[in-house]
């Protein structure tokens, strides 16, 4: 069995019945982490939407990561923050969130950016998009071998992201992804059965 784990990313709409869907997804796990990713709303509204989801994750010992916003992560007492290349600095996030926070960085297809992130003290680096994604427009398309390259040189975990489904995830697991970051495949279907499919693929490796 591989050591790869699931890293679940929220859809942009987490209102209405989403907390119940999150419970179903996590209960079909194990899921290692959940990333709260919403766009275009103010921090008060984001915090209101995040709080019940944070409780669901805490009850299941799932790390709660906030996308982009160091200040929102601090406000919520989240387990960490995931930063894009334009969202702030690893050292700044560490200063604000403390030494125990999980800080991840999007590195696209760039080995250079990943090494810089590691040097700055990131807890994980994310490569992608490996496949076309409906969740986010991306121009970078790394090959799975970037995961193997990283694993051979560095101790810091790597996350594979972008268009990952149960049907296409095996090459990424085989290449050495520590985590598969998944979103659309889960939320565009029946979340519990898709999570179970992912887990089955991971166990098969």
Model's pTM, two decimal places? 0.97
Looking at the structure of the chain, the number of domains it has is: 1
Q: Could you list the residue range(s) of the whole structural domain that residue 188 is in?
A: 5-204
- pLDDT above 70 for 121: yes
- pLDDT above 60 for 179: yes
Three-state SS sequence of the chain: CCCCEEEEECCCCCCCCHHHHHHHHHHCCCCCEEEECCCCCCHHHHHHHHHHHHHHHHHCCCEEEEECCHHHHHHHCCCEEEECCCCCCHHHHHHHHCCCCEEEEECCCCHHHHHHHHHHCCCEEEEECCCCCCCCCCCCCCCCHHHHHHHHHCCCCEEEECCCCCCCCHHHHHHCCCEEEECHHHHCCCHHHHHHHHHHHHHHC
Q: What is the pLDDT of residues 46-86, one digit of tens each?
A: 999 999 999 999 999 999 999 999 999 999 999 999 999 98
Q: What is the pLDDT of residues 25-34, one digit of tens each?
A: 999 999 999 9
User: What CATH number does residue 40 fall under?
Assistant: 3.20.20.70
- pLDDT above 70 for 1: no
- pLDDT above 80 for 138: no
């Amino acid at each position: 069995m591989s050591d790869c784990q699931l890293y679940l990313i929220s859809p942009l709409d987490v209102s209405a019945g989403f907390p119940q869907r999150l419970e179903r997804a996590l209960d079909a796990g194990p899921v290692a982490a959940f990333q709260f990713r919403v766009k275009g709303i103010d921090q008060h509204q984001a915090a209101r939407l995040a709080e019940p989801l944070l409780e669901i994750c805490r009850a299941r010992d799932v790390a709660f990561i906030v996308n982009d916003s160091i200040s929102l992560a601090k406000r919520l007492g989240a387990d960490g923050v995931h930063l894009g290349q334009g969202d702030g600095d690893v050292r700044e996030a560490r200063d604000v969130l403390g030494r125990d926070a999980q800080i991840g960085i999007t590195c696209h297809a760039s080995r250079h950016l990943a090494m810089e992130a590691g040097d700055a003290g990131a807890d994980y680096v994310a490569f992608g998009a490996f496949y076309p994604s409906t969740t986010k427009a991306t121009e970078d398309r790394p090959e799975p071998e970037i995961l193997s390259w990283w694993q051979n040189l560095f101790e810091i975990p790597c996350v594979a992201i972008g268009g990952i489904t149960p049907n296409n995830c095996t090459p990424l697991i085989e290449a050495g992804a520590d985590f598969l970051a998944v979103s659309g495949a889960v939320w565009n279907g029946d979340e519990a059965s898709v999570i179970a499919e992912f887990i089955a693929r991971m166990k098969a490796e």
